Amino acid sequence: MPAPTRKTLKYYDVTLASASPRRAALIRNIPWLRATVFPSVAEEYAFAGGDVAAYAVALARRKAQDVFKKRGGVVIGADTVVTVDGQVLGKPTDAAAAERMFRLLCGRTHAVITGYCVCDATKTAENYVITHVTFGAYESELVQAYIRTGAPFDKAGGYGLQDELLAPLIQKVEGDRDNVIGLPIEALKKTLEEFL
């Protein structure tokens, strides 16, 4: 399907199965999409080993299917995980957990994987995108100031690439920056063009 143009004024309605304000903002970058946000209440389960990308996609599928049962139509689910040394870092539960994550991530490169799932009554499309992020050396004052803002606690890996306070710590981003923020828009757009 060719992407709709302004001239045709063709829009597609979808439901984004997410409570993330960052994903809600990112999906608005697809101009021919009208997205309604409806958070999933599907229970997430801990990573038990194996393929991290498959784990991210499985969580995205759970969210999409959960919301599809309630809303129908076309539903998009997504889940972002941060992984380093075979460990999957979720959202830190407290300041100490956030600090441990920063100590693990600083001075090295880690992978951010967002899996996504698009489904309707007859079909499902799934994919994932990997971006590599390199942090500089651990800086206690910067990290502690960032943790005090409360920003780490709703983000996988305990950080948001878009947070200005953290900018001095980010040395390199290899791949899609939107993916690190929570939704790989370019890849999702291609999937939707084939799906819709």
Residues with a known catalytic role: 79
User: If residue 192 lies in a helix (H) or strand (E), which one and from where to where?
Assistant: helix 185-195
Judging by DSSP bridges, how do beta strands 33-37 and 12-16 pair with one another? parallel
Whether 2 contacts 193, CB under 8 Å: yes
Packing angle, helices 140-148 and 95-105, rounded to 10: 140
Q: Is 75 helix (H, G, I), strand (E, B) or coil?
A: strand
For 90, which DSSP code? -
For 119, which DSSP code? E
β-strand partners of 79 = 115
